[in-house]
Amino acid sequence: MILFTNWRYAGKKTKKTLLSSLKIRSKVKVSDRYNGVLGWFAESMPVAETELSYRDPFQLIVAVILSAQCTDKRVNMITPALFERFPDAQSMASATQEEIFDLIRSCSYPNNKAKHLRGMAEMIVTRFGGVVPSERDELTQLPGVGRKTANVILSVVWNNPVIAVDTHVFRVASRIGLTPGARTPLQAELRLTRHIPEEQRPLAHHWLLLHGRYICTARKPACSRCGIARWCAYYQKETGLKA
C-alpha cells in the first residue's frame, strides 16, 4: 500500500513552468503526447503502486473484486477482518456465502461479491490446486474476475507488461487524448498497449488511475496543478491553447 503524496509537491513545481511550456502552438502528435505524458510520470512518480492492502496474490484478487464500484479506502476498512477470518483460498472456499456477506456488507453489491468471492476461492482450490493462476485465460475463468481484474493481478503480482483499464484509466486516457476514438475499455487497452513501452505498462495503469483519483477528477479536474497539462487534449480544448 502506498500513500499518494508526490502529486502534491509536483503541483507546486508545475505552476512555475506551466505558462512558458504552453506557449508552443504546433499541433501535438499522438506519439509526442505519449512521450510527454509518460516522461513526466516517469520523472515525477517513479514509484506508483496499488492503494489496496494485501499480502499475497489471493488477497489481492479479493481486494480487487471488492473494489468494483467501491473506493479503495472502504475496501481497506473491510479486508482486515475478512482476511483474519479467511486468509486464503482454502478457508474462504469452506465458508458460506452468508458468512462472507456479513464481513463485506458495507461495500457496494455485497450479495454478488460474496457469491463471487466464494466461487473464486472454490475454483482456485478445486481447479488450480490452491494456487492463484498466472495466465490471463485461467484468471478470467474465476467468478468475479474479468479482463481488468486479471490484468491487475498480472501486472501487480508478476509485473507482466499488461495494462488494466478501469473506470479511472478509461476516463483519464480519453480526456488526455491518449485513446482517441476508443469506445470500450478493451479498445482503450489496445491503444495504450500499442504506444506504451513494455517496461512502463505495469506502472502506466497506476499513473493514470492515481492521476484520475487525485488530480484529473471526473467532475472538476485540477488543471492548474496538473503536470501534464501541456500535452492534454482536454486542457487545450478548454483554454484554447495548443501544446
Q: Which three cell numbers stand for residue 69?
A: 464500484
Question: Which residue from 77, 126, 117, 72 is spatially nearest to 97, judged by alpha carbons?
Answer: 117
Q: Which three cell numbers stand for residue 176?
A: 488526455
Is 88 among the catalytic positions? no
Is 32 among the catalytic positions? no
Between CA 154 and CA 163, with CA 160 as vertex, the angle to 5 degrees is 75
Q: Which region, left, alpha or beta, applies to residue 144 given φ > 0 means left and ψ of -120 to 50 means alpha?
A: left
Of 88, 166, 220, 242, the catalytic one is 166
Of 27, 29, 137, 148, the catalytic one is 148
Q: Please state, in angstroms and rounded to a whole number, the distance separating the CA atoms of residues 94 and 232.
A: 50
Q: Do residues 121 and 89 touch, judged by C-beta distance below 8 A?
A: yes
Q: Do residues 1 and 51 touch, judged by C-beta distance below 8 A?
A: yes
Q: Please state, in angstroms and rounded to a whole number, the distance separating the CA atoms of residues 162 and 159.
A: 8
Question: Which residue from 167, 170, 171, 138 is spatially nearest to 153, judged by alpha carbons?
Answer: 138
Q: Which backbone phi and psi does 219 adopt, to 5 degrees? A: -85, -35
DSSP state of 215: T
Query: Which residues are designated catalytic?
Result: 148, 166
